[in-house]
Amino acid sequence: MHKEILVIDDNPDIRFLVSNILKEQNFILRTAANYDQAVFEINKKLPDLAIIDIKLDKPDKDGIDLLKLLIRKNKTTPVIMISGHATVKVAIEAIKIGAYEFIEKPFSKEKILNYVNRALESFELKKEKDIIEDKLFHSFDLIGKSNAILKIKKIIEKLATSESRVLISGPTGSGKELVARKIHKNSPRSKHPFIIINAALLKENTYEKELFGEELEDGTIAYGALERANKGTLLIDEVSEIPFTTQSNVLRVLIDQKFKRVNGSNDINVNIRLISSTSKNLNDLVKINKFREDLFHRLNVMPIELNPLSSRTEDIPLLIDYFKKKLSEINGVQQPNIDINNDNFYTYGWPGNVRELRNLVERITILSANETKENIDKIIEDILNPSKNENTSKNIFETSFASPLKEAREHFEKEYLITQLKKNHGNISKTADFIGMERSALHRKLKSLGIKGIN
């Protein structure tokens, strides 16, 4: 299928020259001679690539404004900016906004073709990579055999035919977005959009525009998350970060199922399922008047709570095997030889939870091509415990030499047994077999050291 290119320039000679060069290469051409024509063509249909002159017919609107319009509509559309009298500052601004390249006039046939082909090739490669990653990410499942994960899977099944609003809470990186995607995928809305808006990443003065959209002065519409999610599911990630003043407008949408765009006068009706997620305790925020109580109750129809990874270490081996298979496929490399019994996996606190474990497996996958198991263990050690040898030895020696022999021995035994229990996911029998101790004797030892059940 031939690519369609939109050439925007107020100079007819340039339009004619560029169009002929590209037509010879079997590209489909559209042209615009001024700002208004360009806006019309962009709104009518997004091109596969745009070539835009900086200076056009309007004194207050130029090619940079058209670049911003294209980026708002689709940030992946490649744009080549051209100019015969632009400053370095303007060129840098264009690149920062999202232009693929900036070319000064006059330019040769070879140069324009080179940039066009490179831009389209780069776009296609990125699109292919995004499709692969998107497909793999959407195929990710909730992996684990812990009671916490099994309980959440059952809740997702029950929500399959429900339209209830869901509030997912849990620490950063625990899988809140994945749970939301699974709910959407299992619902009757699965063929419609799944839109995410991260409230923690927005500037305070942009929340309403991002949610409700905006009607611009030139007549174009910047659609908000609510309209883009129509008939589908909207996930508001970190919903606690929505400003208090905006929360009332969100509440009104939930009640009325309609809203007005910023600078708009007409009601927009929407039919969405709303899922919210938070890493903060909304109940606590309600008590200190940082979150509206009425909005909290409307969001919290079906609560789901995700536990930190450190509380379900029995899931770590399954997650490692799962991620190394998926991430090897994404990166096109052989699966790394990761020892799932490596103590570091079970003694580390995992502050970033499942996301941190996934990132670790990806780093190992990339760094450990053709590496031995010993070298992979060293990589894991360096990442999870960069100063383990120094600090652990220092702590053990400080504790030992500052304590009587009996206390020092108890301290070592306690640390050792806790580590082995975590490694064996709290299984007493496996731990007893590994350390060469009778099961009943291990029970007595754990009780004497004050060690309770470890998962």
pLDDT in tens, 259-280: 999 999 899 998 999 999 999 9
Among residues 129, 187, 115, which one has the least CA distance to residue 158?
Answer: 187
* HSE toward the beta carbon, residue 258, CA cutoff 13 A: 7
Q: Beta strands 28-32 and 4-8: pairing type?
A: parallel
- From CA 194, how far away is CA 228, in angstroms rounded? 9
- Only one residue has tokens 């007893």, namely 432
CATH 3.40.50.2300 domain position(s) in the chain: 4-131
Instruction: Check whether 129 has a pLDDT greater than 70.
Output: no
CA distances from 401 to 394, 395, 397, 417, 444 (A): 11, 10, 6, 21, 27
Instruction: State the virtual CA torsion across 220, 224, 229, 233 in degrees, nearest 10.
Output: 180
Most confident of 26-40, 205-219, 328-342: 26-40
Which run of H or E residues covers position 389? helix 388-401
Backbone φ, ψ for residue 291 (5° rounding): -145, 135
Question: Which CATH topology does 310-386 take?
Answer: Helicase, Ruva Protein; domain 3 (1.10.8)
- From CA 447, how far away is CA 455, in angstroms rounded? 16
CATH 1.10.8.60 domain position(s) in the chain: 310-386
- From CA 299, how far away is CA 317, in angstroms rounded? 34
Decide which of 3.55.40.20, 3.40.50.2300, 3.40.50.1480, 1.10.220.70 is the CATH code for 4-131. Answer: 3.40.50.2300
Section 225-237 average pLDDT: 94
Cβ contacts of residue 221 below 8 Å, gap of 6+?
A: 213, 214, 215, 261
Instruction: Check whether 389 has a pLDDT greater than 80.
Output: no
pLDDT tens-digit map of 290-341: 999 999 999 999 999 999 999 999 999 999 999 998 888 877 788 888 999 8
- From CA 434, how far away is CA 428, in angstroms rounded? 10
8 A C-beta contact, residue 54 and residue 90: yes
Give the 3-state secondary structure of residue 393: helix
The β-bridge partners of 260 are: 267
Residue 76: is it exposed, middle or buried by C-beta count within 10 angstroms (0-12/13-18/19+)? exposed
User: What confidence score (pLDDT) does residue 394 get?
Assistant: 44
Decide if domain 389-449 falls under CATH 1.10.10: yes
Instruction: Check whether 369 has a pLDDT greater than 80.
Output: no
CATH 3.40.50.300 domain position(s) in the chain: 142-307
The β-bridge partners of 292 are: none
Question: Which CATH topology does 142-307 take?
Answer: Rossmann fold (3.40.50)
Of residues 410 and 191, more confidence is placed in: 191
8 A C-beta contact, residue 105 and residue 84: yes
Instruction: Check whether 400 has a pLDDT greater than 60.
Output: no
Instruction: Check whether 396 has a pLDDT greater than 80.
Output: no
Cβ contacts of residue 105 below 8 Å, gap of 6+?
A: 14, 82, 83, 84
Section 403-419 average pLDDT: 68
- From CA 99, how far away is CA 91, in angstroms rounded? 9
CATH 1.10.10 domain position(s) in the chain: 389-449
DSSP 427: -
CA distances from 264 to 33, 39, 40, 199, 214 (A): 29, 19, 20, 22, 7
8 A C-beta contact, residue 62 and residue 56: yes
pLDDT tens-digit map of 48-58: 999 999 988 88
- From CA 107, how far away is CA 112, in angstroms rounded? 7
